[in-house]
A and B are shown apart, each in its own frame.
Chain A
Amino acid sequence: MKRHHVIVRITHWVNAIALTIMIGSGLRIFNAYPRFARRGETFCCYPFAGRAIPANLTFGGWLGGARNWHFAMMWVLVVNGLVYLAFIYLHGEWRDLVPRRGVVRDVGEMVKFYLTIRKDHPRQGKHNALQRMAYFSMPIVGLIAVVTGIAIWKPVQLAPLTNLMGGYVWARYWHFWSMLLLVILTLGHIFMVFTVDPYSILAMITGRYRERWSPEARNARPFVHFLPRDE
């Protein structure tokens, strides 16, 4: 039994590449006007106005190049996301991802464990409560990123959508925030994969995993208990 179905594994890595390019090219586009205010106005809610994102965090080389990448890769991101969502809906994997009853308490127990207030790893199924929340919110934030992105792509032809978000300036702001949330979720995910469960990388590539490798069986928290216990 594979830990992840082959469709989940493929869509995961396609998403990783597409999201990286979308964020890099998006930051390059942002750098052409690294503020939100309409010309002649001020904007309330962005304290870093005028400060460009460091160039080596961006992708596309220049504004036109970044736009070409952004508007091509958006289709890969959307189609791949729809394939993933359709699959987990039809195949039942969504049950491992939606929050369960008592999720607040479960998240609290995981946090206690990571802060070493609690000594033993809470019981879990395929994912712990924090993972569930992260993997559940990722597609939701992704959807917000896509919808706000469409709103600033065609603010005249799709004016009702753009107006729903408070107009072009605010839609651009929400698009920026959704990107920021995706970056935070992704960096948190990568950090936990490397410091708690590096075996999950193999599981996400080949599908191979063993129960004794799981963080629960190893009682693993970040940087602690990397190796499986002796049999």
Chain B
Amino acid sequence: MSEPSERRDSLRVRGVSHPAERVGIDRRRFLAATGGALGAMVLAACDSLGPRSATSLLRFAEHENESLERTLLRHTSMDVPRAGAKAAGSHFPSYFISDTVPVWDEAVRGAWRLEIGGLVSKPLQLSLADLAALPRVGYKLDHFCVEGWTAVATRTGVRLADIARLAGVQPDARYVDFQSFDKDYHESWDIESAMHPQTLVVYAQDGHYLNAAWGAPARIYSPVKLGYKNTKYLTRITFLPARNGGYWSDRGYEWYGGV
């Protein structure tokens, strides 16, 4: 044990209790007040959205983050799943906004075509056979969902950059919009992410043509964007001079959604 200091000896008188020890009520009152205050703080925070006035500050932060993310984006940063990562296979989740799985009904809508339009010199209409005839690439890729989960699948399709070259995209096309036939679902991207070598118009997953649950007949997929940015049930790719929002981006998720 350490030797008590002289000062402490003078302060400590054997058998005399400290004044605080004689006022037990204070301790109880103090505990009640502390507990009450902490409880009130928790209840006030209670799953709240935060103050309304913060919205513009949050928008400003999102804007600044986007600038930073766009400078971070490198076409040489390629997604490579972990060596031991298992493909999700049938565990790969299925998401759509319609009440039932969206299926392209040829009897009603005619044959499915992927339209490439907007700021292009040669608008295209590609059938699934046309897509399959274009230079094919396949990658085993991570999928990053906004919810925090990740899944691995092999994606096969055509580089969007290749399709853009075929259509003759004009230099003032700074944004791209991906439209689907899943209700009004669409998401627009910056052109840089769209031209990333791993950004594909995907028509096969894990070696099989897409099934309806995963976005048949074709979808956009890139590991540099969060899942919700990757439109499934693709019908039209439009090159634009300005951004065009998106289904989830208009509902409060960040527009850029980079990974």
Contact = CB atoms under 8 A, between A and B. Distances in A.
Interface of A: 20-21, 24, 28-30, 32-33, 38-41, 55-65, 67-69, 71-72, 75, 109, 118, 120-123, 154-159, 163, 167-169, 172, 194, 217-219, 223-227, 229-230
Contacts, number: 169
A230 B48 contact: no
A6 to B, nearest CB: 25
Contact of B91 (A39, A163, A217): A39
Contacts of A29: 148
B118 interface: no
Interface residues on B, range: 35 or more
Contacts of A158: 72
Interface of B: 1-2, 4-5, 8, 11-12, 18-21, 23, 26-27, 30, 34, 42-43, 45-50, 54, 57-58, 60-62, 64-65, 69, 72-74, 77-80, 82, 85-93, 142, 144-152, 223-224, 248, 251-254, 258-259
A168 B226 CA distance: 14
Contacts of B252: 62, 64-65, 68
B258 A120 contact: no
A225 B79 CA distance: 60
Contacts of B93: 39
Contacts of B64: 75
A72 B62 contact: yes
A30 B47 contact: no
A39 B254 contact: no
A120 to B, nearest CB: 5
A64 B18 contact: no
A154 B47 contact: no
Contacts of B90: 40
Contacts of B150: 38-39, 168-169
12 contacts: A28-B47, A29-B148, A38-B85, A38-B86, A39-B149, A39-B151, A59-B48, A154-B72, A155-B144, A157-B72, A168-B150, A229-B19
